Amino acid sequence: AEEGTCGHHASLGVRRWAMSSTWNKLVNLVIRPPRAQYDPNEHLPGPRFRIAGVTHVRRDIDLAGADGLTLKCSHYEPEVRGNDPLPCVIYLHGNSGSRCDATEAIRLLLPARITVFAVDLGGSGMSEGEYVTLGVRETKDVECIVNHLRDQGLTSKIGLWGTSMGAVTAIMYANRDPSIAGVVLDSPFSSLPKLMLELVAQFTKGSRVGVPKMAARMALSFVRSSVKSRAKFDINDLDLKKVVPSTFCPALFAHGKDDDFIPPHHSETLHELYAGDKNYIAIDGDHNSPRPAFFYDSTVIFFCNVLDPPPTSYQAGAMGRGSANGLGPPVGAIRGRDPGVRDVDRRGSPAPVEFVRRRHEPRETPEEDDGASVSENVATLVAMGFDEAK
């Protein structure tokens, strides 16, 4: 009996250790995932580049975001704009992403005369901040960006394109600001507490030491306290099911069918509850899979409809001409006119940009980083077709 009791206590000790380790990993995954590290000169388009013979520029900007933290931003626009304001899409990355991830949007939207504003949200990339907050403070960052664009007087309508954490941020900001013309929402979660419980099940799946549901719910309260203490926000505030019934701007939802990081039912629930005009695209692949041409086509059509940019031959009416999806320049775009300008051309990839998805090396390796494999990969632009003109 004594031996059995000792074995029982040992089993409890192992179980408690496993739960503690799991929840510590989860806290790090939520508020301090691997941080994108990159060289703007190597991984960002520009500072001058050409798409379909039109020269565009990248204007790097520092803005004061939430809590006064400096945000590293880039605004992509035609070098010659004319006098009329142009619409703009603000691209919002995932929890371990950066403004590097906006390259798809840049290629797709600039030919439609829609400018693109990319940002390292607070706590991400090269911006200041120790933690990410999965939409809480990031929503204030977006407010600062929108105010900047409005104050400049060069932007007409504004849309938001968000992925994962960025999609949650887009929903939360659009709920506050009815002037937002439309949102593209790729893989948002519907409830952070629910997602965290699902991730625990994912972490411990197949493990000899499981986490009972009752114990997991009790431990969630400790995670909530830890996040409050370290990152100063309440995970219970991130329940989008309470937000979307009063959000009315047009929305395009998308989600990978095989996503096991944020399961598709999160987007499906939000889509069902969403109050405004809406559409839903189920995508083959998982959370980090390259998105198919159909998704990008739908995104460009959506933004052209809601933002009403000046007419060009590369908008929805030009589909089917010159490229795999009719929205980019033909292979072998005009080259060599200006030695200071890069050309952007297609390389036969079914997606608008050829790229390799890998995780950037984190600036600091967290003490508990075993859960990093579950976090979001960052699109590192390795062979993206931005060539120096010869």
Q: Is the peptide bond before 47 cis (omega within 30 degrees of 0)?
A: yes
| DSSP category for residue 362 | P
Average pLDDT over residues 275-296: 95
Can you tell me the distance from the alpha carbon of 231 to that of 235, in angstroms, rounded to the nearest whole number? 10
Alpha helices for the chain (secondary structure H): 2-31, 40-43, 103-109, 136-152, 165-176, 192-203, 213-231, 265-273, 293-307
Residue 338: pLDDT over 70: no
Can you tell me the distance from the alpha carbon of 22 to that of 205, in angstroms, rounded to the nearest whole number? 12
Going by C-alpha positions, the residue among 128, 35, 42, 112 that lies closest to residue 76 is: 112
Average pLDDT over residues 110-138: 96
Residue 390: pLDDT over 80: no
Percent above pLDDT 90 for the chain:
62
Average pLDDT over residues 116-140: 97
Better-predicted residue by pLDDT, 41 or 334: 41
pLDDT band at 95 (very low <50, low <70, confident <90, very high): very high
Side-by-side strand order, sheet with 86-92: 278-283, 251-256, 182-186, 155-163, 86-92, 115-120, 70-78, 54-64, 48-51, 342-344, 386-388
Please state which of the ranges 77-86, 87-96, 285-294, 349-358 shows the lowest mean pLDDT: 349-358
pLDDT band at 218 (very low <50, low <70, confident <90, very high): confident
Please report the pLDDT score of residue 198 as a whole number: 87
Residue 194: pLDDT over 60: yes
The CATH-assigned architecture of domain 40-191+240-311 is: 3-Layer(aba) Sandwich (3.40)
Can you tell me the distance from the alpha carbon of 138 to that of 131, in angstroms, rounded to the nearest whole number? 11
Report the 10 Å Cβ neighbour count for 125: 27
Average pLDDT over residues 8-35: 66
Can you tell me the distance from the alpha carbon of 134 to that of 44, in angstroms, rounded to the nearest whole number? 24
Can you tell me the distance from the alpha carbon of 287 to that of 36, in angstroms, rounded to the nearest whole number? 17
Instruction: State residue 279 phi and psi, 5-degree precision.
Output: -145, 160
pLDDT band at 19 (very low <50, low <70, confident <90, very high): low
Can you tell me the distance from the alpha carbon of 161 to that of 251, in angstroms, rounded to the nearest whole number? 10
**Amino acid at residue number 169:** T
Please report the pLDDT score of residue 189 as a whole number: 98
Residue 317: pLDDT over 60: no
Please report the pLDDT score of residue 312 as a whole number: 77
Residues of the chain with CATH 3.40.50.1820: 40-191+240-311
Query: To the nearest whole number, what is the mean pLDDT of the chain?
Result: 78
Please report the pLDDT score of residue 352 as a whole number: 29
Please report the pLDDT score of residue 328 as a whole number: 35
Please report the pLDDT score of residue 90 as a whole number: 98
Better-predicted residue by pLDDT, 53 or 335: 53
Q: 36-89 pLDDT, tens per residue? A: 999 999 999 989 999 978 999 999 999 999 999 999 999 999 999 888 899 999
Please report the pLDDT score of residue 205 as a whole number: 63
Average pLDDT over residues 319-326: 35
Q: 139-169 pLDDT, tens per residue? A: 999 999 999 999 999 999 999 999 999 999 9
What is the pTM (predicted TM-score) of this model?
0.78
- Contact between 316 and 308 under an 8 Å Cβ cutoff? The reply is no
Can you tell me the distance from the alpha carbon of 239 to that of 175, in angstroms, rounded to the nearest whole number? 13
Give CA separation, 68 vs 65, 331, 380, in Å: 5, 44, 28
